[in-house]
Amino acid sequence: MTHQIHDPAAALTMDSRTVPQQYWPAGWMPHPSGSWVPAPDAASPWVVAHQQHAPAPVTYEVAAPAPRVVSNRLFAGAVLAVVALVVATTWVTTSVLDRGSDSAGRAGTSASASQLLGATSLGSGEFRNVAKSVSGTAQVIGLGDGRRMLALRGFTSEMGPDLHVYLASGASPMGASVHLGKLRSLTGDQLYAIPAGTDLAANSTVLIWCREAKATFGAAALDLTERDLAPGDTSNLGGMMSPSNMMASSTSAEEAASEVSWGDLEPATGHETSGSAQLVRLGEGRYRLLMSNFHTDPGPDLNVYLASGSTLGGDSVRLGRVQRVDGSLSYDVPAGADLDQLTNVLVWCRVAKATFGTAPLTKSVMLA
C-alpha cells in the first residue's frame, strides 16, 4: 500500500501505525490502535523544527499482512464456547437481579413511608403558558426529615432543546434564581430536590426555561400556604419517591445548590464548537466547570480557559486540555481565580494560537 504525504496534517486521516515518525503531524503521536492522540509536549524541539521545515512529499510501501486461515472445526468450536458462556452469564445475572430487585423494592417502600411521616404542602400553583404550551401543577412538599421537594403533577410541556426547572422571583431566571436541574420529562409526575436554605418567599415562581432559546416556556406562581397533604397527594408522592427517583433528585439538588453561572458555547469563525458550560460551587471555596453536550473540531493541543473576554489575555486561567471532542468535560477551577472577572469560557488551540469557541457566562446566583 502506497501513501503520499504532501501535508503532514493529512496524516491525521491515515492509520498512525503506517506513518514514519518524521511525518507525524505537529503535536500528535500514534496510538497502538492506529488512531492519533495529542503529544505530551507540543513544543518539543522536533515539533518546532518540523513546523519550520516541512518535509517534501514522500512515497513509501507498506506490505499487506498475509491472510490467516482458520479451520472450520476450530471456528465451530470457538462459536460453541462463546454461546455457552453467554447462556451461563445470562442465567447468573438474571437470578441475582431478581433477588436484588425484590429486596430493593421492600427497602424502597419502607424508606418512602418514613420520609412521608409529617410531610406537608408548603405551597402550590398552576402552570400557565408563556412562550409555549405548559400545563400541570407545581407543589412544594416539606418532608418529615426537613428536606423540601418540588413536585410537578399532571405535567405536560411542548418540546424544546435544553429545558430546565428553576425557582425564580419573576418570569425569567436571569439573576438570583435557583436552578433545580434539567427537565426530566415532557409529561408526567416528576420530583426535584430544593436546596437547603432556599428562600421560597423570594423565589416563589416555578419556571420551565429553555436555555438555548433563552425563553420561559411556562410559569407557575406558588401560593405559599402550608396545609396537610391530601390522601391522594400522599399516595402519589410515595410512588414518586422511588429509590431511583430520589437518587436523581439528590443529584440535581447538589447541582442546584452549587450552580454559579452558565452559558452556551459559540463557535469561532471557521470552526464548529457547541455545547453548554456550567460553573458550580462544590463548597469550601472550591469551584468546577462542567461542559455538557460538548463538540468541537479536532485540533492540536486544544485547551480550556477562563478569560475576561473572548480572546486569551494575561489574566486568563488555564483549566486543562480538551479531554475529548465530543461528550461531557469537567475541570476544577484553581483556587484564587477571580470569577467576577473571568466570565468567559474559551476553547483555545495553543499551536494555532486561535479560539475555537467561547461561552459568555451568565450568573445564576450571586457569588458569596
How far from chain centre, in Å, is Cα 79?
40
Residue 259: inside a domain: no
Residues 303 and 351 in one domain: yes
Nearest to residue 42, comparing CAs of 352, 362, 363?
Answer: 352
Residues 177 and 275 in one domain: no
Residues 244 and 180 in one domain: yes
Residues 153 and 57 in one domain: no
Residue 368: inside a domain: no
| Strand 317-321 with 302-307, pairing | antiparallel
pLDDT tens for 139-194 read 999 887 788 889 999 999 999 888 999 999 888 887 778 888 888 889 998 888 88
Residues 145 and 222 in one domain: yes
At residue 143, the pLDDT reads: 84
Reduce the DSSP state of residue 366 to 3 states and report it.
Answer: coil
At residue 275, the pLDDT reads: 84
Task: Give the domain-ending residue among 228, 252, 276.
Answer: 252
At residue 247, the pLDDT reads: 43
Residues 155 and 219 in one domain: yes
At residue 245, the pLDDT reads: 52
Q: Please tell me the distance from the alpha carbon of residue 61 to that of residue 157, in angstroms, as a whole number.
A: 61
Residues 127 and 225 in one domain: yes
Give the range of the structural domain holding residue 80, as residue numbers without chain letter: 68-98
The answer to whether the CB of 305 falls within 8 A of the CB of 358 is no
Reduce the DSSP state of residue 241 to 3 states and report it.
Answer: coil
Residues 205 and 159 in one domain: yes
Task: Give the domain-ending residue among 37, 61, 85.
Answer: 61
Residues 230 and 277 in one domain: no
The tally of domains found in the chain comes to: 4
Residues 315 and 351 in one domain: yes
Q: Please tell me the distance from the alpha carbon of residue 107 to that of residue 27, in angstroms, as a whole number.
A: 54
Mean of pLDDT over the chain: 74
The parts of the chain modelled with pLDDT lower than 70 are: 1-9, 40-118, 229-259, 283, 364-368
At residue 278, the pLDDT reads: 82
Cell of 240: 414518586
Q: Please tell me the distance from the alpha carbon of residue 147 to that of residue 128, in angstroms, as a whole number.
A: 27
Q: Please tell me the distance from the alpha carbon of residue 207 to that of residue 177, in angstroms, as a whole number.
A: 10
At residue 101, the pLDDT reads: 36
- CATH number of the domain to which 273 belongs: 2.60.40
